[in-house]
Chain A
Amino acid sequence: MKALVWHGTTDIRCDSVPDPRIEHPRDAIIKVTSCAICGSDLHLYDHFMPGMKSGDIMGHETMGEVVDVGAESKGKLKVGDRVVIPFTIICGECDQCKRGNFSVCERTNRNGHIAAKAFGHTTAGLFGYTHLTGGYAGGQAEYLRVPFADATHIKVPDGIPDEKLLFLSDIFPTGWQAAVQCDIQPTDTVAIWGCGPVGQMAIRSAILLGAKQVIAIDRVPERLAMAEAGGAVTINFDEESVIERLNELTNGRGPEKCIDAVGMEAHATATIDSMYDRVKQATMMETDRPHVLREMAYVCRPAGTLSIPGVYGGLLDKIPFGAIMNKGLTIRTGQTHVNRWTDDLLRRIEDGQIDPSFVITHTVSLDEGPDMYKVFRDKQDGCIKVVIKP
């Protein structure tokens, strides 16, 4: 089959690879009908995130049709079922899965011992996302092997196009969880850094959850325009002071809830701290660029919440923990517990409260995938979300 394969920094190719087969009785194989490129994939493309090996298949936002089911998954899935595959692989039985903390499932990461070295404990296995999280083949391919398939799927009805359902795999529940983590009150201002796909979903989620005011921050004009369409007031961080504008828009109080939908590759207009990060990163003394975290901690209203769906990989420097501690801020973060939210979100899509397909700007074939990584990363051609049709 054809698949998008990682070969090194900014080197992803469309290769021919062996078709996946059932390796374990809980597996299923799906024929991929749609998949997408995620901002998290860019951390691999740019090789900010360690733990990839040449030959790894990319992709963790996948949906399709079941074409083969292992013996132990037969009760839950059958050939022909239409499924969206969450990016977190879950066993459904461990202590964390039972609590709904699916992204820290204790069983599905077959390289759990490596993760435990890096993070102190294992986290869930992820599709197409480094050997730290199991080294499982991803879904930017014609077929995908789904381990623990009896638990790791979201059944979706026929009659709704792929485009409306695909993002249940990751970005919609991620934006949703980011907003839920804020425990939004009708009086809240929610400020969201980053208007990429995750930020866009967080904006819509905050509106659905009834925030008084949503403010979105980025510097790419098309993304800011899409944020505005979703009901956000926008700030272009290249042209305005983020802190000043946020204080203006909240009568000097600061936003009650702040969401970091940017993560470790944050950009900053020539501020001292951003140059400091560049130098530290170049000299390997720091792995991530926490500019957004610093801004959030500083501007957030005392007793407020910092919600962090943006991905970080390692060590961060110069975090104003004094501000966080003395202002009594709550921090909530994590990879998304996708299956915890998807029943509810599917209902909201069916109900017409939201249609997540608004974010798709490009639809391409697998062959065009490698080029689209660059277009997406460089935000060329108004690119916000790429869907691939294998």
Chain B
Amino acid sequence: MRYETERTRRRGHADTATDTLARGLGLFSIALGIAEIAAPRALARALGMKGQEGLIAGYGVREIATGIGILASKDPTPWIWGRVAGDGLDLATLATALEGKNPKKGNVGIAMAAVAGVTALDVYCAQTLSRESPHPLPPMQDYSGRTGYPRGIEQSHGAARDFEVPPDFRTPEALRPYTQPEAPRHPQPSM
């Protein structure tokens, strides 16, 4: 998108904001994955999905793999699209828990709303990344020689001290002592 830094330049992407979002989603994937693997039983209970602990832990493995993919790859775009697909799977799975007489339907609804929110972020991030050119950025221009001082900076530093600042642009006399370190600590009023 609008600018580039050393890091995004290496990646071939010019937009750090989306880049940061992508890394955020990667970290989120890993955190969610760890939760799904560590506590599949608690999750299943909360969602009224007893018997599906294996599936939940499996999804956890998927989340962690995607998260690592996002963080470790040079180009996170396909991995973010992978998250979008995973979100679809999550939503479909949760939808099955809405069928029948599940007493935890309320929790399932909350979970689906949360997943839908993250899905929106994933889609936005994936689309923005996909719009960017896949070609690496050209090497940085070297402007270190563009000083602007034909005779060198030593010659130019202070060269315009002969310039007299017009009265209407001057710092008020009374304020001057306060902005100059070598000024007396307690300026004496002249009386």
Using a CB–CB cutoff of 8 Å, the interface residues on chain A facing chain B are: 100, 180-181, 183, 185-188, 200, 204-205, 207-210, 219-222, 225-226, 228-231, 236, 238-239, 256, 267, 270, 301-305, 328, 330, 332, 344, 348, 352-356, 358-359, 361, 377-382, 384
Which 9 A-B pairs have CB atoms at the shortest separation, nearest pair first? A382-B141, A210-B158, A303-B178, A208-B160, A358-B148, A226-B143, A358-B146, A183-B171, A303-B175
Q: Across the interface, do B5 and A353 meet the contact criterion of CB distance under 8 Å?
A: no
Given A353-B156, A382-B143, are A330 and B171 also a contact pair (CB < 8 Å)?
yes
Residues from chain B with Cβ under 8 Å of A330 in the complex: 171-172, 175
Given contact pairs A183-B169, A229-B145, A381 touches B6 in the complex (Cβ within 8 A): no
Could you pull out 7 A-B pairs where Cβ atoms are within 8 angstroms? A221-B140, A225-B140, A230-B146, A238-B16, A303-B179, A348-B159, A378-B2
A109 to B63, CA, bound (A): 63
CB distance from B112 to the nearest CB of A (A): 27
* Contact residues, B87-101 vs A (CB, 8 A): none
Contact A207 B165 (CB under 8 A): no
Partner of A210, one of B140, B149, B160, B176: B160
Docked complex Cα distance between A272 and B138 (Å): 34
Compute how far the CA of A270 lies from the CA of B181 in the bound complex, rounded to whole angstroms: 35
Q: Are B169 and A332 in contact (CB under 8 A)?
A: yes
* CB pair A238 B160 closer than 8 Å: no
A378 CB contact (under 8 Å) in B3, B141, B160, B165: B3
Query: Is the C-beta of B131 less than 8 angstroms from some C-beta in chain A?
Result: no
Determine the residue in chain A with the shortest Cβ distance to B181: A187
Asked if B151 is at the interface (CB within 8 A of a chain A CB), the reply is: yes
A230-B6 contact given A330-B172, A330-B175, CB 8 Å threshold: no
Nearest Cβ in chain A — how far from B132, in angstroms? 11
* Contact A359 B146, beta carbon cutoff 8 Å: yes
Residue of B nearest to A228 (CB): B144
Provided the pairs A236-B5, A353-B159 are in contact, do residues A181 and B180 lie with their beta carbons within 8 angstroms?
no
Report A-chain residues with C-beta under 8 Å of the C-beta of B175: 303, 328, 330
B147 to A358, Cβ gap below 8 A? yes
* Count of interface residues, chain B, beta-carbon cutoff 8 Å: 46
Give chain B residues whose Cβ lies under 8 Å from the Cβ of A186. Answer: 158, 161
Pairwise interchain contact A187-B146, C-beta atoms closer than 8 A = no
Contact in complex: B161, A210 (CB < 8 Å): yes
B4 within 8 A of A: yes
Taking CB atoms, residues of chain A closer than 8 Å to B161 are: 186, 209-210
Chain A nearest CB: distance from B120 CB in Å?
17
Contact of A361 among B1, B141, B163, B165 (CB under 8 A): B141
B4 CB contact (under 8 Å) in A204, A220, A226, A267: A220
Contact check, B143 vs A210: say whether CB atoms are below 8 A apart.
no
As a 0/1 sequence over residues 58 to 81 of chain B, the CB contacts with chain A under 8 angstroms (1 = contact) are 000000000000000000000000
- Whether A230 and B148, one on each chain, are in contact in the complex, defined by CB atoms closer than 8 angstroms, is yes
- Asked if A354 and B149 make an inter-chain contact with CB atoms under 8 angstroms apart, the answer reads yes
A207→B143 contact, CB < 8 A: no
Contact between B142 and A209, CB atoms less than 8 A apart: no
B186 within 8 A of partner (CB):
no
A221 and B181 contact, CB distance less than 8 A: no
Return the contact of A219 from the options B5, B14, B163, B176 (Cβ within 8 A): B5
Q: Which residues of chain A come closer than 8 Å to B170, judged between CB atoms?
A: 183
User: In the bound complex, how far is the Cα of B15 from the Cα of A380, in angstroms?
Assistant: 11
Asked if B150 contacts A352 (CB within 8 A), the reply is: yes
B185 within 8 A of A: no
Query: For residue A220, which residues in chain B have a CB less than 8 angstroms away from its CB?
Result: 3-4
Give CA–CA (A320, B136) in the complex, Å.
42
Which residues of chain B are within 8 angstroms of A209 by Cβ–Cβ distance? Answer: 158, 160-161, 163
**Closest residue of A by beta carbon distance from B176:** A185
> How far apart are A221's CB and chain B's nearest CB, in angstroms?
6
Cβ–Cβ contact A353 & B149, under 8 A = yes
